[in-house]
């Protein structure tokens, strides 16, 4: 169920964010379904390959997409078991996201372009900072909720109860920072800019075109969805009771997340690159503080 | 009578040691060591006057001959061949040498002190001086530069060892004989051959030049 | 009968002084070596007598297990050296009668050390070794060898004079209980000796013989003499002479043990051992001369022997095993060093390179010797060093243990730094990962064609190979009987 | 059947050595060497599989007359597991050696190479099967010496000789600690057979530290790792593969054995030491790997990093044992052993790949490489695959160990619940996070810079002929074998699990039935879904790529130069360099990592030439070893004044010694 929702709705999620930004900017903005149009358009096009590239470049968007989809198989709907659930599955989920990153970085290096190399370098830097925060956060959750798997962790995070609940807030903030950084959102990166020197994620895919680009765009939408739903899973206290109610609550929460991201992107400016690492370290520290809270 | 002689002997040993310490002229040193050798050769006879026998006589005579006559003559000849008569600029000057000698004397006294209990009163100074002579010889080797002076130092040390043996281990004449053997070897080999070669190879016998092998 | 091990080489020596023909002399040397070794083997056939504590022989000479052990090592090494000399002195005909005569006298005096039953005779014999070996060190007859000889003579004579004092003190300590310095008598009556004088006597003996053995800081003659002497003499000096001096110390130590002063004396031996180890290790860090390197390694190993003997017990057994192993290994290393010297005509480490191309057999043995002498398995020294280590652990000597290991490590590290560049060629072919550079012609390698005729003569590497194989065998197979024999040799017969 | 096969494999090696002595034809020598090792490794594999599948240990006892020694062989499940690794990697590397050295075999006899290869191979197998302290040590040193000579194969190079020196002193130093270890363990024993070893109760921690230093030097734990990045680049690539793939694992094997002698009485300190050093090793290893430019040096540091992961696994296991958290402990050990196998296979395939590169372009500096894929497609593909694996990513086998480690940590955390448990868990997860992300960065860098993009420097150029040659059979087949195994073990890790688990259980005494059952349950719960996830991923990738191909069938596919922001004359030199790629990450640790930089700027406002170079030095070499050795050398030089050449001084020493001894040992007044 989670898989189908994600496959269908993740571009919409992006569209919502854009819409909200437009609202704040006082513009009309592009249609909500613009990303679907984009994908369809790209799929209908031919491709241009750089003469430097090899089969790695051609393969990588699809490896990335496969990794994202596989990760979605593991991702549960909060409160429900996913299709594949097992002890420590969150680690596998993160590893699949790393596979995604691996393939995109390789594709970027395959072009031989210095811009893409730079983007790749930044990409691995941020993941280097984000990964400990992610793992630590989930250690806290796993320990606090006494669960091995995502299903157990996300089923009712607010059952931690009492004073320990504060830990959850810390984790929530920490995860949110990671979410923004990993998906190249403002204030870490501006997905809409076209000044290559400032970009991270977008610059890596400069040379992709046609269906390949469609795959990559779709993949990044899925990635945002994955991290977003993880965040929603631990940050929203509402579990409806019946399945359909829960789906509605989840979707509502996702809309809420899109609103938050949109607001943040509207009111904040992009920070200097050097500050990004500070923010991500902050995420790790927050997770650490949460851990102390949980133990204490 | 014996006591007087003994005292004389002891005194001679002491004085010769002191002379060795504060002179830098080789002929004087050779003379001192010869006198010392002679006296020390006599020592067993004096010490064991009452039970003197033939073998003791023979040993004593050989020793007197070697230490008092043959070795000093050999030394003298090497000295003349090498053409050195002075120990120039020793590492330790005569005055300081004397002071150190005094310290060495005290050291030997301190080490030999427990012997006092087991020795007749009048004999006590013999081991003290014997040990002093050993130290003195060592000191000469250490503080002088010329190869020939080092040999003199070595001979002094030998004298000390022999005196020591004569005073303490008279029950075991074998040891004394060994002393003789040692002296002969040293006399023949070190002086006769080594100095000869050093002289030929280096044109002088300053052992300062014998220090190219290091580390 | 026992006298024969002394007299036969002595007679050979006299005969060779009379001979003039170089080839005959070399043959005589071989013959003498074989005769002496045969005699030693013949003694072994009467093993029962000494292992049970009986002392065949007169009051002056005897053969106990310690003596026969060192005698055998000496004799075997001499045999190998004799073979080697046949190759080494092939073209060196000048004054060979004196050299070979002195080699025989050297052997005779060393044998006398091994069979002496009297502390006095032992002393005479050790002094005799100095005199017999001095002309051998002066073999090359140049400034350097003269200097080395002079130092050797003077320092060892001073040492030996001190040892004589030690003997005097020993007899004084014995007082009326003994009428000679016959070792079994001394041992029997040791418990009645005057302890104070016994202590002084031991100190003097230790310093005296320790000078000869090369215990730091009394070792100063050793690097000079070993590096300046011709290689086969260095091998004998290091492999046999040092053992003989060690025998002197052990005799003194066994008396001390019978007097109940084992721990006191052991501590001094440990102290000497550690100082030798450390000193040698530090001096090995920067050496420029490969024969001096081997000499310092001898200092190190003498330190190990002293340490092992001082710790006692199992470590003592290990020390004796180590004595055997060290003699074999150091012996063949010096022989190989002689080969390198012949090929490159220099003792400088930096001038020697690419040995493996110049002389593969020599290079192979040099590498093996390095591994053996640093105690790498599967060579025998590994086991002996290990047994000493075990002994130290058993007697809980933690500080010595740490110093021991650190020193051994530094020695290994330093020697490896010299041996690797010496063995392998220095040229570099840039850009190609798998092509070996052509043979390098080092400065002075002209000596190769002169003395080696382009290849290594059998005489010059086969003896080393034999020694290396024995070391190797001792690392793979040590019969229980040898170990128990060594245990007896170290401590067993003292109580008689 | 296991023991006879093992001895048979040694017999083959023996026959091979004899043949090497007598064959003069160089090419035949080369063939004989290869065939011997391959046959021997098949026998080893047979022995290992026999024991693993039969599940029963085999042993052989012969007496041997050396002190404490006996010729006692025993293949238990743990040994068999390591033998399995040896059999695969040893054989494959030998096969690879054939092609690698084929050009050399025409003008240089390789009998020495093969002889030492035999020794190394046989030595490692003896290390894994020796059941007596003395035999073990002999095998251990034999192995070290053989590998030392193999490292020195290209001995005409200065750097190689230096590497050989560093390697041999490191390994010798490590062995010294093993000597102490065995002497302590066997203090009351006549014969040091393994099963008789017992811990002297008083000194558990000291003993473990001794063992850890001894075995850890071989394994490459920080700060004892310095030999690894020297020796691996210096050795020929097949040897690096064997050394890094198997030989450093002997250290891990030894540590596990040490644990087995403790009979369950494990102090808390062991686990803590092991985990902390492991974490340090992992992080330090990956950071250095990120900063280095030498291809094989990067791989060597990555080995250090992986040893860190294994160390953390062992540490968690030890910690769990001492805290009586059985399931977590077993999972920790299983994770460690899984990683041993997987890392062995991955790293050897990477080293062999590096060998092919080296053979083609003659440089290991990745800054000079680029675009190799186009010339070496199959090597590139397999190198990329292994990179993915070594970065710890599914669906390859490198992931399994890390994943199990996380599960183990979680189990410890959830069952244990004390402050210490959590602290260790944080440590492990934090470092795993850094290591995981770091190795993704490191291997995208290594693979991307050298195989992808365009050639960066003319030095990295290669002839097409050469490239064609190295893509031939003996170069490719070994890589295919290893790559196939990596993929297979990644997805089918559940199949390997019983063997690994058997190895763990057979080694650790006193595991209760319930505990093992619980562990098996968790293993099944985790590894089975992992297989499914892996398969889904692979299938999806395949499907999506097919989809893409189908879509593009009727579309125009154009080729043009890489878009370079409108710049007219793009040149390959404009590509992002390896140093710049990793510099942002390393900058985070700039206080720790010693970069030596040189910057030259000639001319004034319009410089004609400007050069900049930066090299990352090893942290510990720079801060610990160099000062130590320099200080030692300085001290030694100062000491040399003592031996200054004059007789007088020497005799003064004698006199002083005598006097000092008298004062010290005669108790004042004698």
Q: How confident is the model at residue B193, as a pLDDT?
A: 66
Q: Which of B179, B189, A95 is nearest to D396 (CA)?
A: A95
Name the range with the highest mean pLDDT among A44-48, A200-204, D83-87, D573-577: D83-87
Residue C79 in tokens: 């045999």
In the predicted model, what is the mean pLDDT of residues D255-276?
A: 88
- In this structure, the strands spanning A47-50 and D557-560 are parallel
Shared-domain flag, residues D608 and D645: no
Average pLDDT over residues D329-357: 94
Q: Which chain D residues are Cβ-neighbours of C218 within 8 angstroms? A: 653-654, 657
> Domain range spanning residue D605?
577-616
Q: Nearest residue of B to residue D643 by CA position?
A: B215
- Asked if D533 is an interface residue toward chain C (Cβ–Cβ < 8 A), one would say no
Chain D window 396-425: which residues touch C at a Cβ cutoff of 8 Å?
none
* Neighboring chain D residues of B114 at a CB cutoff of 8 Å: 669-670
> Which residues in C lie closer than 8 A to residue D156 (C-beta atoms)?
424-429, 436-437
Domains contained in chain B, number: 1
d(CA A191, CA D466): 45
| D180 touches C at CB < 8 Å | yes
Copy the structure tokens of residue D92: 């494959």
In a domain, D637, yes or no: yes
> Which token pair is B136?
């003195």
Nearest residue to C371 (alpha-carbon basis) of C321, C342, C332: C332
- D652 falls within a domain: yes
Spell out which residues of chain C touch residue D141, defining contact as CB-CB under 8 Å. Answer: 376-378, 382
Cα–Cα distance for residue pair C371/C364, rounded to 1 Å: 11
pLDDT, greater one: D411 or B169: D411
Residue whose token pair is 């080696």: C452
The residue with greater pLDDT, C59 or D228, is: D228
> Best mutation site among B142, B153, B194 for testing chain D: the one with the most D CBs within 10 Å?
B142
Residue D607 reports pLDDT greater than 80: no
What is the structure's pLDDT at C45?
A: 80
* pLDDT for the residue numbered D463: 62
Report the pLDDT value the prediction gives residue A197, as an integer from 0 to 100: 61
- Read off the pLDDT of residues A249-285 as tens digits, 9 standing for 90 and up: 899 999 999 999 999 988 888 887 778 888 888 998 8
Residues of B in contact with D645 (CB under 8 A): 210-214
**Count of domains in chain D?**
2
* Per-residue confidence (pLDDT) for residue B77, from 0 to 100: 82
- CB-closest option in D640, D648, D659 to B142: D648
Tell me the longest C-alpha to C-alpha distance in chain B. Answer: 56
Chain D: residue whose CA lies nearest to B147 = D647
Domain assignment present for residue D624? The answer is yes
Q: How far apart are CA C101 and CA C12, in angstroms?
A: 7
Identify all chain D residues contacting C431, using CB atoms and an 8 Å cutoff.
362-363
Residue D344 in any domain: the answer is no
D chain contacts of residue C387, beta-carbon cutoff 8 Å: 67
Q: Is residue D173 part of a domain?
A: no
First to last CA, chain D: 72
Tell me which H or E stretch contains D543: helix D513-552
> How confident is the model at residue A174, as a pLDDT?
92
Cβ within 8 Å, pair A62-D555: no
Helices (H), D220-294: 228-234, 237-242, 249-261, 268-291
Distance (Å) from the C-alpha of residue C359 to the closest C-alpha of chain B?
A: 29
D352, D540 contact by CB (below 8 A): no
When pLDDT is averaged across residues D443-453 and rounded to a whole number, the result is 92
Establish, for the pair of chains A and D, how many residue pairs have beta carbons separated by less than 8 Å: 261
Quick one: residue D451, left, alpha or beta (phi over 0 = left, psi -120 to 50 = alpha)? alpha
Handedness of CA A245, A250, A256, A259 (dihedral sign): negative
pLDDT band of residue D205 (cuts 50, 70, 90) is confident
The verdict on D598 and D633 lying in the same domain is no
D512: pLDDT strictly greater than 90: no
* φ, ψ (nearest 5 deg) of residue D516: -65, -35
Residue D550, min C-alpha distance to chain A (Å): 11
pLDDT grade, residue D139 (50/70/90)?
A: very high
Which residues are within 8 A (CB) of D17 and not within 5 positions of it... i.e. 6 or more apart? Answer: D115, D118
Extents of the domains making up chain A:
2-145+157-295
Residue D570 scores a pLDDT above 80: no
Which residues in chain C touch residue B147, judged by CB atoms under 8 angstroms apart? 150
- Asked if C287 lies within 8 A of B215 by C-beta distance, the reply is yes
Mean per-residue pLDDT, D419-428: 88
Domain presence at residue D630? yes
The DSSP element (H or E) to which D597 belongs, if any, is: strand D595-601
Residue whose tokens read 């959750």 = A141
Is there a contact between C284 and C415 (Cβ–Cβ < 8 Å)? yes
Q: Do C199 and D665 touch (CB under 8 A)?
A: yes
Of the candidates D616, B197, A67, D552, the residue with the CA atom closest to the CA atom of residue C138: B197
**Distance (Å) of CA D53 to CA D81, D128, D405, D606:** 11, 18, 25, 73
CA dist C57 → A2, C9, C19 (Å):
102, 19, 33
Q: Which among D157, D636, D661 has the least Cβ separation from residue C286?
A: D636
Q: Which residue of D has its CA nearest to A125?
A: D585
Chain A residues touching residue D536 (CB < 8 angstroms): 70, 73
**What chain C residue is nearest to B158 in terms of C-alpha separation?**
C161
Look at residue B89 and tell me if it is in a domain: yes
**How many percent of chain D have pLDDT more than 70?**
96
- B142, B145, B213: residue with CB nearest D655: B142
Interface contact flag, C386 D632, Cβ < 8 Å: no
**Chains B and A physically touch (3 or more Cβ atom pairs below 8 Å):** no
Q: So what's the pLDDT on residue C492?
A: 60
Rounded Cα distance, D357 and D380, in Å: 9
Task: Judge whether residue D281 has pLDDT over 90.
Answer: yes
In chain D, which among 69-128 make CB contacts under 8 A with chain C?
100-101, 103-104, 108
D100, D649, D670 ranked by CB distance to C196: nearest: D670
Mutate to test the interface with D, among A39, A120, A125, A276 (most CBs of D within 10 A): A125
Task: Nearest by CB to B201, from C131, C146, C292: name it.
Answer: C146
Q: Which of D279, D262, D265, D263 is nearest to D315 (CA)?
A: D279
User: Which tops the pLDDT comparison, B195 or D620?
Assistant: D620
What does C444-469 look like in DSSP terms, one character per residue? TTHHIIIIITTS--HHHHHHHHHHHH
User: CB B113 to CB D669 under 8 A?
Assistant: yes
DSSP letter string over A156-188? -GGGG-GGGHHHHHHHHHHHHHHHHHHTT-TTT
- List all residues of chain D from 639 to 668 with a beta carbon under 8 Å from chain B: 640, 643-649, 651-652, 654-655, 659, 662
Ranges of residues in chain C with a pLDDT under 70 are 47-59, 427-455, 492-496
Tokens of D415: 């069952």
Position B108 scores a pLDDT of 86
8 Å CB contact of D552 and A84: no
Phi, psi of C436 (to 5 degrees): -80, 140
Q: What pLDDT is stored for residue C52 in this prediction?
A: 44
Question: What would the pLDDT profile of D55-108 be if each residue is shown by its tens digit?
Answer: 889 999 998 888 888 999 999 999 999 999 999 999 999 999 998 888 888 888
Cα separation, C340 vs C349, in Å, equals 10
- C46 touches D: beta carbon within 8 Å: no
Reading chain B (215 residues) residue by residue, the pLDDT tens digits are 667 888 888 889 899 999 998 888 888 999 999 999 999 888 888 877 777 777 778 878 888 888 888 888 888 887 887 777 777 677 888 888 999 999 989 888 887 777 777 666 667 788 888 889 999 999 988 888 887 888 888 889 888 888 888 776 566 666 667 777 776 666 665 666 666 676 666 655 566 667 777 76
User: Which residues of chain D does B113 touch, with a Cβ-Cβ cutoff of 8 Å?
Assistant: 669-670
How many residues belong to chain B?
215
Q: Which residues from A are below 8 Å from D377, CB to CB?
A: 54-55
Please give the interface size between C and D, counted as residue pairs whose CB atoms are below 8 Å apart: 162
CA distances to B137, B215, D645 from C220, rounded to whole Å, are 19, 9, 8
B33 occurs within a structural domain: yes
List the subunits that have 3+ CB pairs under 8 angstroms with D.
A, B, C
Question: Contact D359/D100 with Cβ under 8 angstroms?
Answer: yes
Phi/psi of residue C353, each to 5°?
-155, 150
Pairwise CA distance, residues D329 & D320, whole Å = 4
Q: Using CB atoms, which chains have 3+ pairs under 8 A with B?
A: C, D
* C-alpha count within 13 angstroms, C-beta hemisphere, residue B15: 11
Of B165-179, D272-286, D319-333, D373-387, minimum mean pLDDT range: B165-179
In the prediction, which pLDDT does C442 show?
38
Do D659 and D625 belong together in one domain? yes
With a CB cutoff of 8 Å and minimum separation 6, the contacts of D228 are D220, D244, D248, D300, D301, D303, D304
Q: Which of D542, D584, D588, D590 to mutate to test the interface with A (most CBs of A within 10 A)?
A: D584
* Residue B165 within a domain: yes
- Shortest alpha-carbon distance between residue C172 and chain B (Å): 6
Which residue range(s) make up the domain with B65? 2-209
Show the DSSP H helices in chain A as ranges: 2-25, 34-43, 55-74, 89-111, 114-145, 150-155, 165-182, 201-204, 210-235, 243-267, 273-295
Q: Which chain B residue has its CA at the smallest distance from C292's CA?
A: B215
Torsions phi, psi for B206 (to 5 deg): -80, 115
- Judged by CB atoms closer than 8 Å, whether chains meet at B141 and C127 is answered as no
- Per the structure block, which two tokens stand in for D99? 């092609």
Phi/psi of residue D558, nearest 5 degrees: -110, 160
Note whether A211 contacts D: Cβ–Cβ < 8 A: yes
Q: How confident is the model over D219-243, as a mean pLDDT?
A: 93
């Amino acid at each position: 169920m989670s898989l189908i929702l994600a496959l269908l709705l993740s571009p919409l999620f992006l569209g919502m964010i854009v819409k909200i930004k437009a609202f704040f900017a006082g513009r009309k903005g592009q249609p909500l379904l613009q990303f679907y149009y984009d994908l369809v358009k790209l799929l209908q096009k031919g491709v241009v390959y750089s003469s430097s590239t090899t089969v790695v470049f051609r393969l990588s968007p699809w490896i990335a997409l496969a990794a994202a989809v596989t990760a979605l198989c593991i991702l549960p709907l909060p409160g429900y078991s996913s299709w594949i659930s097992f002890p420590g599955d969150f680690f596998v989920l993160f590893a699949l996201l790393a596979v995604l990153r691996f393939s995109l970085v390789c594709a970027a290096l395959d072009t031989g372009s210095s811009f893409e190399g730079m983007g790749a370098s930044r990409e691995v830097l941020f993941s280097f900072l984000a990964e400990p925060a992610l793992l630590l956060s989930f250690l806290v959750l796993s320990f606090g909720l006494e669960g091995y798997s995502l299903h157990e962790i996300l089923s009712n995070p607010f059952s931690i109860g009492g004073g320990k609940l504060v830990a959850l807030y810390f984790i929530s903030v920490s995860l949110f920072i990671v979410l923004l950084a990993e998906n190249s959102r403002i204030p870490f990166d501006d997905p809409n800019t076209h000044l290559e020197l400032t970009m991270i994620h977008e610059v890596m895919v400069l040379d992709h075109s046609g269906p390949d680009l469609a795959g990559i765009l779709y993949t990044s939408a899925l990635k945002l969805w994955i991290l977003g739903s993880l965040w929603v899973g631990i940050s929203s206290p509402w579990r409806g009771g019946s399945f359909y109610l829960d789906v509605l609550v989840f979707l509502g929460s996702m809309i809420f997340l899109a609103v938050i991201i949109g607001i943040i992107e509207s009111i904040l400016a992009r920070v200097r690159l050097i500050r990004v690492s500070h923010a991500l370290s902050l995420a790790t520290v927050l997770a650490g503080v949460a851990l102390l809270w949980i133990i204490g | 009578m014996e006591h007087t002689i003994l005292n004389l002997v002891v005194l001679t040993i002491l004085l010769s040691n002191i002379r060795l310490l504060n002179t830098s002229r080789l002929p004087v040193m050779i003379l001192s060591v010869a006198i010392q050798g002679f006296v020390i050769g006599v020592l067993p006879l004096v010490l064991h006057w009452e039970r003197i026998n033939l073998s003791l006589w023979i040993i004593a005579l050989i020793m007197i001959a070697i230490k008092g006559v043959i070795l000093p003559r050999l030394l003298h000849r090497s000295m003349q061949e090498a053409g050195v008569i002075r120990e120039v600029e020793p590492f330790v000057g005569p005055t300081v040498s004397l002071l150190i000698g005094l310290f060495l004397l005290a050291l030997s006294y301190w080490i030999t002190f427990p012997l006092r209990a087991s020795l007749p009163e009048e004999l006590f100074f013999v081991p003290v001086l014997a040990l002093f002579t050993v130290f003195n010889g060592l000191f000469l080797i250490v503080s002088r530069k010329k190869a020939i002076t080092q040999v003199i130092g070595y001979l002094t040390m030998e004298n000390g060892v022999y005196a020591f043996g004569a005073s303490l281990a008279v029950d075991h004449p074998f040891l004394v004989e060994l002393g003789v053997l040692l002296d002969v070897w040293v006399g023949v080999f070190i002086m006769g051959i080594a100095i000869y070669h050093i002289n030929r190879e280096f044109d002088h016998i300053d052992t300062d030049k014998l220090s190219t092998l290091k580390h | 009968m026992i006298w024969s091990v002394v007299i036969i080489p002595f007679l050979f020596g006299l005969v060779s002084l009379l001979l003039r023909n170089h080839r005959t002399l070399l043959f005589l040397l071989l013959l003498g070596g074989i005769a002496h070794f045969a005699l030693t083997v013949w003694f072994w056939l009467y093993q029962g007598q000494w292992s049970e504590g009986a002392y065949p022989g007169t009051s002056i000479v005897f053969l106990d297990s310690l003596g026969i052990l060192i005698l055998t090592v000496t004799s075997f090494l001499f045999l190998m050296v004799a073979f080697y000399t046949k190759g080494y002195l092939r073209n060196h005909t000048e004054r060979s009668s004196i050299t070979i005569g002195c080699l025989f006298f050297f052997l005779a005096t060393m044998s006398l050390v091994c069979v002496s039953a009297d502390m006095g005779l032992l002393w005479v014999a050790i002094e005799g070794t100095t005199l017999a070996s001095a002309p051998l060190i002066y073999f090359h007859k140049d400034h350097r060898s003269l200097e080395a000889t002079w130092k050797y003579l003077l320092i060892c004579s001073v040492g030996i004079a001190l040892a004589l004092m030690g003997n005097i003190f020993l007899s004084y300590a014995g007082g009326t209980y003994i009428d000679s310095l016959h070792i079994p008598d001394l041992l029997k009556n040791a418990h009645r000796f005057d302890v104070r004088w016994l202590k002084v006597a031991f100190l003097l003996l230790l310093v005296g013989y320790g000078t000869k053995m090369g215990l730091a800081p009394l070792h100063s003659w050793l690097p000079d003499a070993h590096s300046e002497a011709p290689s086969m003499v260095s091998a004998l000096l290091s492999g046999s002479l040092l053992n003989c001096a060690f025998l002197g110390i052990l005799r003194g130590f066994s008396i001390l043990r019978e007097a109940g002063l084992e721990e006191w004396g052991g501590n001094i031996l440990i102290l000497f051992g550690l100082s030798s180890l450390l000193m040698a290790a530090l001096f090995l860090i920067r050496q420029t001369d490969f024969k001096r390197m081997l000499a310092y390694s001898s200092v190190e190993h003498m330190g190990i022997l002293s340490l092992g003997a001082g710790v006692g017990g199992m470590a003592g057994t290990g020390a004796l095993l180590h004595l055997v192993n060290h003699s074999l290994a150091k012996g063949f290393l010096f022989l190989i060093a002689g080969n390198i010297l012949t090929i490159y005509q220099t003792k400088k480490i930096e001038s020697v390179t690419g040995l493996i191309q110049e002389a593969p057999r020599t290079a192979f043995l040099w590498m093996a010797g390095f591994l053996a002498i640093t105690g790498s398995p599967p060579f025998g020294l590994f086991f002996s060093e290990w047994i000493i280590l075990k002994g130290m652990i058993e007697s809980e000597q933690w500080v010595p243990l740490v110093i021991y290991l650190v020193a051994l490590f530094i020695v290994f590290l330093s020697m490896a730094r010299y041996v690797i560049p010496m063995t392998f060629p220095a040229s570099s072919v840039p850009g190609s990962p798998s092509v070996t550079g052509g043979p390098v012609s080092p400065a002075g390698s002209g000596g190769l064609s002169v003395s080696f005729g382009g290849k290594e003569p059998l005489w010059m590497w086969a003896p080393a190979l034999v020694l290396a194989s024995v070391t190797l065998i001792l690392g793979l197979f040590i019969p229980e009987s040898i170990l128990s024999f060594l245990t007896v040799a170290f401590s067993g017969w003292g109580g008689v | 059947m296991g023991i006879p096969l093992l001895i048979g494999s040694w017999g083959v090696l023996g026959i091979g050595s004899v043949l090497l002595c007598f064959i003069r034809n160089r090419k035949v020598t080369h063939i004989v060497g290869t065939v011997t090792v391959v046959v021997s490794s098949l026998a080893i594999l047979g022995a290992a599989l026999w024991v693993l599948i039969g599940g029963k240990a085999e042993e052989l006892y012969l007496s041997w007359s050396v002190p404490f020694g006996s010729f006692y062989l025993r293949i238990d499940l743990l040994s068999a597991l390591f033998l399995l690794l040896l059999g695969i990697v040893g054989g494959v590397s030998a096969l690879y050696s054939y092609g690698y050295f084929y050009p050399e075999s025409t003008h240089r006899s390789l009998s020495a190479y093969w002889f030492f290869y035999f020794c190394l191979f046989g030595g490692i197998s003896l290390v894994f099967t020796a059941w007596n302290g003395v035999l073990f040590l002999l095998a251990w040193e034999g192995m070290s010496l053989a590998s030392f000579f193999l490292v020195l194969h290209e001995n005409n190079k200065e750097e190689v000789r230096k590497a050989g020196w560093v390697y041999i002193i490191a390994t010798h130093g490590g062995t010294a600690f093993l000597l102490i270890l065995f002497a302590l363990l066997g203090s009351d024993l006549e014969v040091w057979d393994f099963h008789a070893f017992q811990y002297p109760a008083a000194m558990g921690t000291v003993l473990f530290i001794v063992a850890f230093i001894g075995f850890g030097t071989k394994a490459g734990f920080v700060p004892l790792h310095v030999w690894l990045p020297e020796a691996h680049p210096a050795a020929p690539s097949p040897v690096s593969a064997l050394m890094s793939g198997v030989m450093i694992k002997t250290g891990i094997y030894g540590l596990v054995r040490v644990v087995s002698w403790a009979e369950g009485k494990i102090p808390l300190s062991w686990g803590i030491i092991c985990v902390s050093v492991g974490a340090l090793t992992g992080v330090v290893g990956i950071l250095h790997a990120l900063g280095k430019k030498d291809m094989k040096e990067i791989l060597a540091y990555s080995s250090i990093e992986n040893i860190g992961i294994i160390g953390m696994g062992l540490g968690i296991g030890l910690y769990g044992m001492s805290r009586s958290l059985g399931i977590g402990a077993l999972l920790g050990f299983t994770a460690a052993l899984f990683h041993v196998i997987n890392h062995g296979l991955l790293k050897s395939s990477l080293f062999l790949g590096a060998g092919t590169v080296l053979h083609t372009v003659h440089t290991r500096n990745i800054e000079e490489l680029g675009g190799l894929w186009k010339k070496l497609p199959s090597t590139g593909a397999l190198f990329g695959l292994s990179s993915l694996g070594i970065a710890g990513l599914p669906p390859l086998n490198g992931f399994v160990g890390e994943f199990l480690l996380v599960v183990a940590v979680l189990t410890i955390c959830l069952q244990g619940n004390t402050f210490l448990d959590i602290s260790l868990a944080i440590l492990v997860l934090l470092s795993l996070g850094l290591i995981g992300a770091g190795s993704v960065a490191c291997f995208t860098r290594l693979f991307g810079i050298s195989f992808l993009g365009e050639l960066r420097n003319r030095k990295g150029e290669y002839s097409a002929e050469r490239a064609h040659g190295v893509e031939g059979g003996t170069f490719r087949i070994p890589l295919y074998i290893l790559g196939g195994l990596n993929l297979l073990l990644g997805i089918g890790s559940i199949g390997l699990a019983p063997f690994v688990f058997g190895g763990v259980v057979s080694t650790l005494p006193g595991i209760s039935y319930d505990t093992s059952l619980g562990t098996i349950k968790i293993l099944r719960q985790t590894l089975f879904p992992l297989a499914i996830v892996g398969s889904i991923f692979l299938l999806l990738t395949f499907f999506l790529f097919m989809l893409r191909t189908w879509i593009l069938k009727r579309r125009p596919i154009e080729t043009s130069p890489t878009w370079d922001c409108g710049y007219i004359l793009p040149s390959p030199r404009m590509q992002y360099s390896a140093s710049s790629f990793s510099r942002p990450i390393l900058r985070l640790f700039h206080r720790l990592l010693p970069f030596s930089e040189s910057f030259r700027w000639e001319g004034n406002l319009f410089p004609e030439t400007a050069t900049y170079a930066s090299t990352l030095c090893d942290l510990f070499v720079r801060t610990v070893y160099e000062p130590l050795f320099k200080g030692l050398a300085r001290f030694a030089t100062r000491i040399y004044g003592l031996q200054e050449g004059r007789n007088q001084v020497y005799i003064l020493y004698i006199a002083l010694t005598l006097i000092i001894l008298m004062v010290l040992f005669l108790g004042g007044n004698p």
